[in-house]
Amino acid sequence: MMTADAFWQIVAIVLIAASLSVPFGRYLAHVFMGERTFLDPLLDPVDRLLYGIIGPAQTSRPMDWKDYAVHMLLTNVLMGVLIYVILMFQGHLPLNPLHFAGVNPELAFNTAASFITNTNWQNYGGESTLSLFSQTAAITFPMFTSAATGLVVAVAFFRSLAAADGGRNLGNFYRDFVRALTRVFLLPCLILTPVLVWQGSPETFTGQAIAHLVQGGLQHIPMGPVASLEVIKHLGTNGGGFFNANSAHPFENPTIITNVLEMLLMMLTPMSLVVAFGRMVRNPRLARVIYGVMAIMLMAALFIAVSAEQGGTPVLAGAGVAIVHGGGQPGGNMVGKEVRFGNTQSAMFDTVSTAFTTGTVNSMLDSYTPVGGMVSLVLMMLNCVFGGKGVGLINFLIYGIFAVFIAGLMVGRTPEFLGKKIEKREILLASLALLVHPLIILVPAAWSLMAPYGVSALGNTSMHGLTEVIYAFTSTAANNGSAFAGLSGNTPWYNIALGVVMLIGRYVSIIFMLALGGSLAAKPAVSETVGTLRTDTLLFGTFWLATILLVGALTFLPALVLGPIAEYFAMHAHLVS
């Protein structure tokens, strides 16, 4: 069980995030429905300048789902190539005070794939690999654009659900993108970076400081434009750290204030997007049901993870460590955790990070208790507990289409969702969109475990080693980016396999989703009758939750049983490996 302090911290953080998400959700709806906001006088000139550079004709024409997808892919490929080239040639580029050589081709591919897909999986340690130019021009840059890509795709999908013109106009990709950049990401980042610096996060183009330590000896302390990266890393649910230790590093996350701020930033847009969805499809009741089910799953995950970490492990108890929190010490499982955060704020941070597909960590998941680590793994397997920029919500809606279909069969009604009939084509596309996820997790994970070059990278043995591999492919497939970091992923196999999984997990899923939206948009709306199965009720919400848990359990239970669940029992039988 958890302490009272922990309980109230969880309740307080979720309540603060929820109360921010309502006004911000309305603001998002305004931005993407082309309505006026109070920021227009300030930002309209910036937008016009960007439209002018990109091309006024291209930024004003309507796009259908195919057009939208093509431009999304085209720009993302170009960004990926740009990042790849910068990383490869960073040795010849400016702002390289520690004189790092170019990144090797496989790692550069993995990193470029990772950052354009909003995954931010890192097979490198930032402070020992990247120049400051790479950290800004190849890492901070895609943190903005991958977040904006995800957001505008979600917006286009929402429009296709509400479309009255058969889906011929889902908006303009470039226009949406520019508005997302200036109004959702850049402005908050500009304002919030100084808050992080005030708390201790560095913001400089000096590469390192050299300290002459109190008891003698030297310490080289690398730094750079850390704070500006940190804000977009969380607001854009990116997660890639400036340093190897990510948000456990005192420069990335120096105090409890930054820890809370970083959590709230991760939660802001995904939660708000559910509110915006309700407005955009003109069905706020449905949005409330979705929000409620997601919030229940999030709270359950937070309670379970925090309790598990506070419970400690038999190995710690056996070594004479105090397990009970109190008396001015943190208790629990402090392996891989920072004193300023303790068990509660650590487990909360990592759980929020995997629910909202950020992937930032302020404590090392590989050293978590079996249950604490499994919470993060399950959240990424379900990939719909708020999730990242729209992806989580779209997955949730796809589960909803299944729920409608199953419930419709059970009570003998024609399945309808948001006023459209669900037929063979929709179920086919929804199945494909959902099946991609387990496929790209389980197949390459099995391959890795059978191959010597897969197993040799493990940092732990037996069940925990299995979990490391499953976790790596789940994290990359869900475009999360957090890791059981004992796995040494910087090998040709993992660089390429994980890179390909990230690309499929992102783009194939997006294309199926947009196609599904296009298919629904092209259908005539059916009017609601007494025979319609209502989806915006508590009853259906419960059924929806059951569908998610059931589909998730059927798909992933064998892997979980062999990994964290077996480990839980082995650990409590006082086994070591």
Partner 1 sequence: MSRLESFATAVRFTLATWILCGLAYPAIEVAINQVMFPFQANGSLVQVSGKIVGSRLIGQRFLGARWFHGRPSVVNDDPLTSGGSNLGPMSRRLKQHLIQRSMRLRKEHPGLRGVRLPSDMITSSGSGLDPDISPANAYLQARWIARARGLPSDAMDQLIARHLHRPLLGLFGEPYVNVLTLNLALMKTSPEVH
Interaction with partner 1 in 3-32: which residues (CB under 8 A)? 5, 8-9, 12
Neighbours of 179 (CB within 10 A): 23
Q: Does 171 bind partner 1 (CB under 8 A)?
A: no
From residue 514, alpha-carbon distances to 5, 67, 123, 423, 544 in Å are: 44, 11, 31, 17, 22
Q: Which is nearer to partner 1, 132 or 273 (CB)?
A: 132
Q: Does 408 bind partner 1 (CB under 8 A)?
A: no
- Least Cα distance to 366 among 475, 477, 276, 448 occurs for 475
Signed CA dihedral, 341, 355, 174, 37: sign only? negative
Segment holding 520, helix H or strand E: helix 509-521
**Window 543-572: residues binding partner 1 (CB under 8 A):** 567, 570-571
- HSE value, Cβ hemisphere, 13 Å, CA-based, for 316: 19
Q: Which is nearer to partner 1, 21 or 247 (CB)?
A: 247
Q: Exposed/middle/buried for 39, CB within 10 Å: 0-12, 13-18, 19+? A: middle
The mark string for 254-293 relative to partner 1 (x by CB under 8 A, - otherwise) is xxxx-xx---------------------------------
Q: Are strands 420-421 and 208-212 parallel, antiparallel or unpaired?
A: unpaired
Choices 24-32, 190-198, 496-504, 525-533; region in contact with partner 1 by CB under 8 A: 190-198
Q: Does 530 bind partner 1 (CB under 8 A)?
A: no
Q: Does 455 bind partner 1 (CB under 8 A)?
A: no
**Window 351-380: residues binding partner 1 (CB under 8 A):** 361-364, 366-370
Q: Are 408 and 415 in contact (CB under 8 A)?
A: yes
Q: Are 122 and 133 in contact (CB under 8 A)?
A: no
Q: Which is nearer to partner 1, 201 or 395 (CB)?
A: 201
Q: Does 203 bind partner 1 (CB under 8 A)?
A: yes
What separation, in Å, do the N-terminal and C-terminal C-alpha atoms of the chain show?
27
Q: Does 61 bind partner 1 (CB under 8 A)?
A: yes
**Window 94-133: residues binding partner 1 (CB under 8 A):** 125, 127-128
Q: Does 222 bind partner 1 (CB under 8 A)?
A: yes
Q: Does 78 bind partner 1 (CB under 8 A)?
A: yes
Q: Does 201 bind partner 1 (CB under 8 A)?
A: yes
Among 18, 20, 54, 296, the residue binding partner 1 under the rule CB under 8 A is: 54
Q: Does 245 bind partner 1 (CB under 8 A)?
A: yes
Choices 150-158, 250-258, 395-403, 418-426; region in contact with partner 1 by CB under 8 A: 250-258
Among 20, 33, 39, 321, the residue binding partner 1 under the rule CB under 8 A is: 321
Q: Does 444 bind partner 1 (CB under 8 A)?
A: no
Among 119, 160, 307, 313, the residue binding partner 1 under the rule CB under 8 A is: 313
- In whole angstroms, give the CA distance from residue 386 to residue 290: 9
- In whole angstroms, give the CA distance from residue 330 to residue 324: 8
**Window 469-498: residues binding partner 1 (CB under 8 A):** 484-486
Interhelix angle 342-355/284-310, nearest 10 degrees: 140
